[in-house]
C-alpha cells in the first residue's frame, strides 16, 4: 500500500500495541494448540475465528485469493493497483478515510500483494471490531472505481517504480533473474507491474478484475484476539451476508512447472555500485516430503547470520558485502535463490568460488549433530513466530487456508521438519544443488 502519513499519526498506534507485542512475544509454547472455528456464509465467504483473551485487542485479516499470477500479458500490476485502490473510498467511506478511521482509534493497518494473494489487515482495540468489519464490507461491495481514482493510483505506482529503480540499481537485474528462474509469464513478471503495462490499464480493466476476484466466495476473513463467538458471528452476518456471491473466478493458466535449463551468463550493469551474482536452483514442490528436508538444508546453507555461507563470505573470508536468499515458493513451484555482492571483481570471484565450495562441502561431509541441533532450534523459533502475535496469527491462518484448503496440523508439520537428519541434508544437496542451475554474474564496467 502506498501511503505517506505524518509521523505524529503513529503515536497512538505505538501506545496501543507496545504492551500487546511485548506480552504476546513470550507466549510461544512447545504445543501449537489454540482454538479455531470455521464458518462459511451462504455467499461463500470463509471465516476463521480464533479466541485469545490475553489482551484487549483484535486482529482482522481479509485475504483475497488473487495476486499477480492472475494478470494477463500486457496488463501487469493490476493486482497491486487494486490493493491501493481499495483505500480510495467506497459508497460510505471517503478517500483514505479507512486509514484515518483506524488511526483515530489507535489501530494499525496495512496491505500487501503477493504472487497469489492480496491481504488487508489491521489490529484494533477489541471493542472496535464492528468498525473494521463495516469498513471491509463496504469496500468489498461498493468500491469507487472511477477514472480519476484509477489514474491517480496509476500515477502513484509509476512514480513508485521509478523511485525504486533509483534507490535500487539491482532491481532490473532481479526481475531478469526471475524471468529465467521461474517458468512462464504467471510466475516471472514483477508484482509491481511494468510502467508500460500500468500506463495502458483502463478503468474497465480494473472493474473487470475487481468483479472477478474481489468477491466473498474468493475471500477468507480471519479474526484473532479478544472476541466472543456469540457476539462476533452476528456482526459478520450483519456486514457480509448480504454481499452477493460472485461468479467462480477465471481459471488461471500457470503453465508447466518445468526444470530450468543450465545458464551461466554475464550481464553488464553500469549503474550498479559494485559487482555481484545471482544463483538459482529448482527444488521439490511445496508440501512434498523433500521440501521439509530442503527447508532445513536452506537454514544450514544460507538462512541468517549463523548459516555457513554467511559465516564464510561475510564473517570469515570477508569477500562479500551482502549475501541474501533462500527458498522461495510460488504456488507449487519452489526454488533456491541467492544474491551476493562484493566490493570488486576479484572479491566477487572469490565469493562465487566460496559459495560453490560450501555447497560441495555439504554434499560430501555430514554436518555435525551439534550444528544440526542449533539449526533446528533457529528454524523452530522462526516457525513459532508465525503465531506469536494476534496479527501474525490472523494473517497466517488466512494464508494457510487459501494455500491448503484446510488448517494444520502444524505440530505434526513442525515435527516433520525437526525429524530431518544430517543424512537428509547431504542427500538434498546432492539431489537438487546440481549443474542444472542459473548463474548470472553482474559486470559493472
Residue from 9, 213, 202, 211 nearest 113 by CA = 213
Residue from 296, 437, 302 nearest 379 by CA = 296
**Of 187, 206, 240, at which residue does a domain stop?**
240
Q: What is the mean pLDDT of residues 396-421?
A: 91
**Of 240, 272, 302, at which residue does a domain stop?**
240
What is the tens place of the pLDDT at every residue in 149-202? 999 999 999 999 999 999 999 999 999 999 998 878 898 899 999 999 999 999
Same domain for 60 and 150?
Answer: yes
Contacts 24+ apart (CB under 8 A), 342-345: 342/274, 342/275, 342/276, 343/274, 344/274, 344/275, 345/275, 345/443
What is the DSSP annotation of 298-316? Answer: HHHHTSSTTSHHHIIIIII
Q: Specify the number of domains making up the chain.
A: 2
Query: Is 246 inside a domain boundary?
Result: no
pLDDT at 422: 94
Strands 263-268 and 437-443: parallel
pLDDT at position 18 over 90:
no
Query: Is 204 inside a domain boundary?
Result: yes
What is the tens place of the pLDDT at every residue in 107-119? 999 999 999 999 9
Same domain for 284 and 182?
Answer: no
Q: By the 8 A CB rule, do 30 and 414 touch?
A: no
For the chain, state the CA radius of gyration.
23
Query: Is 268 inside a domain boundary?
Result: yes
Query: Is 257 inside a domain boundary?
Result: no
**Of 179, 208, 240, at which residue does a domain stop?**
240
Query: Is 2 inside a domain boundary?
Result: no
At residue 143, the 3 state secondary structure works out as strand
Query: Is 254 inside a domain boundary?
Result: no
What is the spatial distance between Cα 92 and Cα 124, in angstroms, rounded to a whole number? 20
Half-sphere exposure of 74 toward its Cβ, with a 13 Å CA cutoff?
A: 3
How would residue 218 be classed by pLDDT, with cut points 50, 70 and 90?
A: very high
pLDDT at position 27 over 70:
no
Cell 456469540, residue located: 230
Q: By the 8 A CB rule, do 256 and 183 touch?
A: yes
Query: Is 348 inside a domain boundary?
Result: yes
What is the tens place of the pLDDT at every residue in 54-94? 999 999 999 999 999 999 999 999 999 999 999 999 999 99
Same domain for 400 and 309?
Answer: yes
Q: By the 8 A CB rule, do 217 and 96 touch?
A: no
Same domain for 274 and 230?
Answer: no
What is the tens place of the pLDDT at every residue in 283-320? 998 889 999 999 999 999 999 999 999 999 999 999 99
pLDDT at 335: 93
Same domain for 290 and 197?
Answer: no
Same domain for 41 and 114?
Answer: yes
Query: Is 255 inside a domain boundary?
Result: no
Same domain for 134 and 200?
Answer: yes
Q: Residue 314 sits in a domain of what CATH number?
A: 3.30.830.10
pLDDT at position 17 over 80:
no
Q: Give the Cβ contact number of residue 230 at 10 Å.
A: 7
pLDDT at position 28 over 90:
no
Same domain for 318 and 358?
Answer: yes
Q: Which three cell numbers stand for residue 225?
A: 484476539
Same domain for 267 and 218?
Answer: no
Same domain for 52 and 196?
Answer: yes
What is the DSSP annotation of 3-71? Answer: ----GGGGHHHHHHHHHHHHHHTT---SS-----EEEE-TT--EEEEEE-TTSSEEEEEEEES--GGG-
pLDDT at 33: 76
Cα–Cα separations (whole angstroms), residue 403 to 17, 59, 116, 407: 29, 20, 9, 9
Name the percent of the chain lying above pLDDT 90. 80
pLDDT at 40: 97
pLDDT at position 445 over 70:
no
Name the percent of the chain lying above pLDDT 70. 92
How would residue 23 be classed by pLDDT, with cut points 50, 70 and 90?
A: very low
Same domain for 330 and 214?
Answer: no
- Record the pTM: 0.91
Domain range enclosing 210: 7-19+35-240
The alpha helices in 263-368, defined as continuous H runs, are 289-301, 308-310, 345-364
Q: Give the Cβ contact number of residue 399 at 10 Å.
A: 19
Same domain for 98 and 194?
Answer: yes
Amino acid at each position: 500500500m502506498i501511503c505517506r502519513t505524518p509521523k505524529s499519526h503513529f503515536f497512538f498506534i505505538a501506545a496501543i500495541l507496545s504492551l500487546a507485542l511485548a506480552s504476546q512475544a513470550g507466549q510461544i509454547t512447545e504445543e501449537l494448540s489454540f482454538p479455531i472455528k470455521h464458518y462459511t456464509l451462504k455467499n461463500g465467504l470463509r471465516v476463521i475465528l480464533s479466541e485469545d483473551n490475553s489482551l484487549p485487542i483484535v486482529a482482522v485479516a481479509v485475504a483475497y485469493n488473487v495476486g499477480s499470477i492472475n494478470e494477463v500479458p500486457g496488463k501487469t500490476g493490476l493486482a497491486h493497483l487494486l490493493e491501493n485502490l481499495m483505500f480510495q473510498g467506497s459508497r460510505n467511506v471517503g478517500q483514505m478515510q479507512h486509514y484515518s478511521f483506524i488511526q483515530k482509534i489507535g489501530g494499525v493497518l496495512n496491505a500487501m500483494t503477493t504472487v497469489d494473494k492480496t491481504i488487508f489487515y489491521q489490529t484494533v482495540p477489541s471493542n472496535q471490531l464492528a468498525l473494521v468489519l463495516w469498513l471491509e464490507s463496504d469496500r468489498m461491495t461498493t468500491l469507487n472505481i472511477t477514472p480519476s481514482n484509477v489514474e491517480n493510483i496509476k500515477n502513484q505506482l509509476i512514480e513508485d517504480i521509478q523511485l525504486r529503480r533509483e534507490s535500487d540499481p539491482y532491481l532490473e537485474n532481479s526481475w531478469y533473474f526471475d524471468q529465467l528462474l521461474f517458468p512462464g509469464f504467471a510466475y516471472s513478471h514483477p508484482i509491481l507491474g511494468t510502467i508500460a503495462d500500468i500506463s495502458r490499464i483502463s478503468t474497465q480493466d480494473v472493474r473487470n478484475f475487481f468483479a472477478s476476484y474481489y468477491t466473498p466466495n474468493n475471500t477468507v476473513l480471519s479474526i484473532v484476539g479478544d472476541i466472543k463467538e456469540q457476539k462476533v458471528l452476528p456482526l459478520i452476518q450483519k456486514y457480509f451476508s448480504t454481499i452477493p456471491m460472485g461468479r467462480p473466478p477465471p481459471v488461471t493458466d500457470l503453465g508447466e512447472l518445468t526444470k530450468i535449463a543450465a545458464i551461466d551468463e554475464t550481464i553488464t550493469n553500469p549503474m550498479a555500485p559494485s559487482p555481484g551474482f545471482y544463483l538459482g536452483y529448482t527444488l521439490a514442490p511445496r508440501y512434498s516430503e523433500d521440501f521439509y528436508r530442503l527447508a532445513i538444508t536452506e537454514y544450514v546453507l544460507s538462512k541468517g547470520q549463523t548459516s555457513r555461507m554467511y559465516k564464510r563470505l561475510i564473517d570469515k573470508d570477508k569477500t562479500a558485502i551482502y549475501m541474501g536468499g533462500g527458498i522461495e515458493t510460488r504456488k507449487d513451484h519452489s526454488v533456491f535463490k541467492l544474491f551476493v555482492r562484493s566490493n570488486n571483481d576479484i572479491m566477487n570471484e572469490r565469493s562465487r568460488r566460496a559459495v560453490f565450495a560450501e555447497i560441495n562441502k555439504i554434499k560430501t561431509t555430514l554436518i555435525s549433530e551439534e550444528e544440526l541441533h542449533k539449526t533446528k532450534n533457529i528454524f523452530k523459533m522462526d516457525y513459532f513466530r508465525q503465531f506469536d502475535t494476534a496479527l501474525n496469527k490472523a494473517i497466517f491462518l488466512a494464508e494457510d487456508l487459501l494455500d491448503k484448503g484446510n488448517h494444520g496440523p502444524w505440530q505434526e508439520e513442525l515435527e516433520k521438519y525437526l525429524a530431518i537428519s544430517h543424512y537428509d541434508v547431504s542427500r538434498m544437496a546432492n539431489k537438487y544443488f546440481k549443474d542444472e542451475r542459473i548463474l548470472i554474474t553482474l559486470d559493472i564496467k
